[in-house]
């Protein structure tokens, strides 16, 4: 049923310029819980979550796919607490700090480049290329004082102008 729901709901989500990143269906007492996880190149905001939630709800109500059993629909974004599991996750998180572990690696570094399947991480000032297929777990590290890419460019321009 998950594959069928993903196939049917993907186009509904894509109308809003977002991706259906993940979908979970579980049972909670006498009803089911359908959890939809959204992602997008520019992230996902609350207005988009609300719009997608309404559209998915209307679509599900107009079909028989969920059957007669009651269900609860939960729609949200990937956020930073979910592991990087797909190539698009690596691409969308360029410049972010990530903790990776696998059979031959256990480091924290900044994602500086991604060309599937290789990710380039800056670790202690040196670049390290890793095949994402060798990584068993990758989690974004939250940085509270992280400079944005634009701020880095402004800093570089000031440094060059001062010379």
The verdict on 49 and 110 lying in the same domain is no
If pLDDT is split at 50, 70 and 90, which confidence band does 158 have? very low
Question: Would you call 39 exposed, middle or buried from its count of C-beta atoms within 10 A (0-12, 13-18, 19+)?
Answer: buried
Listed as own residue / partner, the contacts of 17-24 with beta carbons closer than 8 Å and 24 or more positions apart are 18/44, 18/48, 18/52, 19/88, 21/78, 21/86, 22/78, 22/82
The verdict on 100 and 130 lying in the same domain is yes
Residue range 60-119, pLDDT digits in tens:
999 999 988 899 999 999 988 899 999 999 999 999 999 999 988 899 999 999 999 999
The verdict on 7 and 45 lying in the same domain is yes
The verdict on 103 and 67 lying in the same domain is no
Report the alpha-carbon angle 78-35-85, nearest 5.
40
The verdict on 56 and 118 lying in the same domain is no
Domain end residue (candidates: 43, 59, 77):
77
What's the confidence (pLDDT) of residue 159?
46
Secondary structure (3-state) at 39: strand
Residue range 5-14, pLDDT digits in tens:
999 999 999 9
Please check whether residue 9 lies inside any domain of the structure: yes
The verdict on 92 and 72 lying in the same domain is no
For residue 13, the domain's CATH number is 3.30.300.70
If pLDDT is split at 50, 70 and 90, which confidence band does 144 have? confident
Domain end residue (candidates: 77, 105, 130):
77
What's the confidence (pLDDT) of residue 151?
55
pLDDT of 145 > 60? The answer is: yes
Locate 149 and state its tokens.
């890419």
Strand bridging mode 71-77 / 135-140: unpaired
For residue 131, the domain's CATH number is 2.30.30.520
- Give percent above pLDDT 70 in the chain: 89
Structural domains of the chain, count: 2
The verdict on 45 and 100 lying in the same domain is no
3-state secondary structure 77-121: ECCCCCCCCCHHHHHHCCCCEEEEEECCCEEEEEEEEEECCEEEE
Task: Specify whether the CB–CB gap between 48 and 40 falls below 8 A.
Answer: yes
User: Alpha-carbon distance 13 to 73, whole Å?
Assistant: 14
Range of the domain at 43: 2-77
């Amino acid at each position: 049923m998950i594959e069928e729901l993903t196939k049917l709901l993907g186009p509904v989500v894509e109308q809003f310029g977002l991706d259906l990143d993940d979908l979970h269906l579980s049972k909670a007492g006498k009803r089911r819980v359908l959890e939809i996880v959204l992602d997008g190149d520019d992230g996902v905001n609350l207005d988009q979550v609300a719009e997608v939630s309404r559209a998915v709800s209307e679509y599900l109500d107009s079909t028989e796919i969920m059957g007669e059993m009651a269900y609860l629909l939960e729609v949200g974004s990937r956020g930073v607490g979910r592991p990087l599991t797909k190539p698009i996750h690596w691409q969308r998180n360029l410049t972010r700090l990530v903790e990776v572990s696998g059979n031959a690696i256990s480091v924290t570094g900044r994602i500086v480049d991604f060309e599937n399947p290789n990710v380039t991480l800056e670790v202690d000032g040196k670049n390290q290329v890793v095949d994402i297929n060798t990584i068993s777990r990758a989690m974004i590290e939250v940085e509270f004082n992280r400079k944005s890419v634009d701020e880095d460019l402004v800093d570089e321009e000031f440094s060059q102008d001062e010379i």
